[in-house]
Amino acid sequence: MANETKIIRNDGKLLSKFYPNGFSPTTLLSKLDNNELYFVYKHDNIDPYYLLLKYNPKNDEKIEISYGPTGYPRRIDKRIFNGNDNKLKLENIILRHEQNNFSVNKELLPVDNVPFNESLDAGQLTGLLIDYSLELVQKHNINDEEHDIFKFLSSHNIMARFKDYSQLIHSNAIVPDLSDILTVVNVSDGCGNDCRHCPEGGNLKLYSKEDIRSEMIKVLQLHIKYHPNTIRKMTEGFLNTSDILWYEIQKSQIKPDEIAKMFFEYFPWTQKLGTFFGVKNLLNVSKDPNFGNIITGNYLKSLYDAGINRGYVGIESGNSKVSAILRKNETYGDKLKALDLLKGSGIKTKAIVLVGVGESYITGDDEEIKSIDAMQDTIKLLENTSPYRVMISRYLPNENLPLEKLRKEGQLKDYKDKHGIQKEIDMLTKAMNWKNITVEQDYESFVVGKARK
């Protein structure tokens, strides 16, 4: 049984042992023998989470486990000395990917008292390690609310949860920022555009009002099943569509603001609601018929008022010719205007930049554009508009994508420099750091395995 809250507002012994150079703001929640549980506060770009540290003095083994706000284990790590500098580093034993599947690094096993033998497959090991992480945290002497977060969890229901939720996200959909606190509702399939690099291109299908409602009810039922005590901690939402504005552009029976309002009927505790926006549609909906079709921010402000406060925009490149090769016919000026409009409405904008397509592009006029030069245009664009975040999307070659045809025809040249992609990323990251804009590097993990149908 859990006792009254006993929050000790100082570090336990283990935090300084594991992190001799200091750590983010934390509260020690509970302390057992060589086993301490902390709450880590939101800092930089990291959302709050629970952290368990376990130390074995007999063999100096240092284990740390992170759990999301709904209690789901996110990773188990070992702190070990490695690398050329022989410094204390974090090595990942088990990691939950954004796609919600786990990977296990067998080379770091055995760990603590988890039974291990070589014949166990990855699924069995994942189950054992998740149960181990939950048993450790469930032993802690924490307050009732925190005790309730962890009490129903087991490897069995965690695996079942991810399977059930993944069935609600279509296989070629791209969902950024997936986590155990994100409510994702599919509201359309495909896209009205057909960009050469994109697994979602073509075959746009907008849902009816009834279908959207039924998607929301299905997700709510899963939340009730898997998050009986933590549903209100699921404070982030995502309307999963290639561009929510298709509902306006295509004069659908239900409009984007009504979809957002419906979302809050079912998930009223949501604080951040995001969705994708396309540049052309952003410009089109901003033509204000009340003012002779001049561009105003009024339409987008109405979406912000309806609760959409995060906008993801795939700008891919600031170079207009590169965009045209990608069949994303939006110029530098279009993108700048669209991002400014979205930002001006109050919606925090995440601009997605594509890297890794090739070392250079050849235009129809036989002009060669080097990716590193195109990145300069991207940087200029982002510096001019200062989005809330920049997300890096690494291109994942897939023979079904039309872009690969261009490669075969010689219009795309592969990287000769094996560090070429990283150099572009570093250049972008450095420039954004100067502007205090956070760059998120792991967008590609949301796209892995996506394929055009």
Segment interacting with ligand SF4, rule: CB under 6 A, options 85-93, 187-195, 244-252, 372-380:
187-195
The answer to whether 244 contacts ligand SF4 (rule: CB under 6 A) is no
Sequence-ordered strand ranges (E) for 68-197: 73-82, 87-96, 102-104, 182-186, 188-189
Nearer to ligand SF4, 422 or 445 (CB): 445
> Whole-angstrom Cα distance, residue 274 to residue 20?
38
Give me the residue label for tokens 């054992």: 128
Nearer to ligand SF4, 30 or 242 (CB): 242
365 and 321 in contact (C-beta within 8 Å)?
Answer: no
> What is the smallest separation between the CB atom of 192 and ligand SF4, expressed in angstroms?
7
**Residue 440: which of 320, 325, 350, 359 has the closest Cα?**
350
In the three-class reduction of DSSP (H, G, I as helix; E, B as strand; rest coil), residue 158 is classed as helix
Nearer to ligand SF4, 198 or 303 (CB): 198
Nearer to ligand SF4, 202 or 346 (CB): 202
Q: Nearest-5° angle of CA 284, CA 287, CA 293?
A: 135
The answer to whether 188 contacts ligand SF4 (rule: CB under 6 A) is no
Segment interacting with ligand SF4, rule: CB under 6 A, options 117-125, 127-135, 196-204, 226-234:
196-204
The contacts of residue 257 (CB under 8 Å, 6+ apart) are 302, 303, 305, 306
> What is the smallest separation between the CB atom of 278 and ligand SF4, expressed in angstroms?
5
The answer to whether 206 contacts ligand SF4 (rule: CB under 6 A) is no
The answer to whether 242 contacts ligand SF4 (rule: CB under 6 A) is yes
Residue 233: both structure tokens together = 């901690």
| Identified binder of ligand SF4 from the candidate list 52, 137, 198, 339, rule CB under 6 A | 198
In the three-class reduction of DSSP (H, G, I as helix; E, B as strand; rest coil), residue 406 is classed as helix
Give me the residue label for tokens 């594509």: 354
The answer to whether 200 contacts ligand SF4 (rule: CB under 6 A) is yes
Nearer to ligand SF4, 71 or 318 (CB): 318
- The alpha carbon torsion through 222, 224, 227, 229 (nearest 10 deg) reads 180
| Identified binder of ligand SF4 from the candidate list 191, 234, 355, 412, rule CB under 6 A | 191
The contacts of residue 233 (CB under 8 Å, 6+ apart) are 69, 70, 149, 181, 227
**Residue 304: which of 239, 335, 260, 334 has the closest Cα?**
260
Within 33-92, which residues bind ligand SF4 (CB under 6 A)? none
> What is the smallest separation between the CB atom of 80 and ligand SF4, expressed in angstroms?
41
The answer to whether 201 contacts ligand SF4 (rule: CB under 6 A) is yes
> What is the smallest separation between the CB atom of 195 and ligand SF4, expressed in angstroms?
3
| Rama region for 149: left / alpha / beta (φ>0; ψ in -120 to 50; rest) | alpha
Binding mask 262-281 for ligand SF4 (x = CB under 6 A): ----------------x---
| Identified binder of ligand SF4 from the candidate list 328, 337, 389, 450, rule CB under 6 A | 328
174 and 350 in contact (C-beta within 8 Å)?
Answer: no
Nearer to ligand SF4, 326 or 425 (CB): 326
Q: Which residues make up the interface to ligand SF4 (CB under 6 A)?
A: 191, 193-195, 198, 200-201, 242, 278, 314, 328
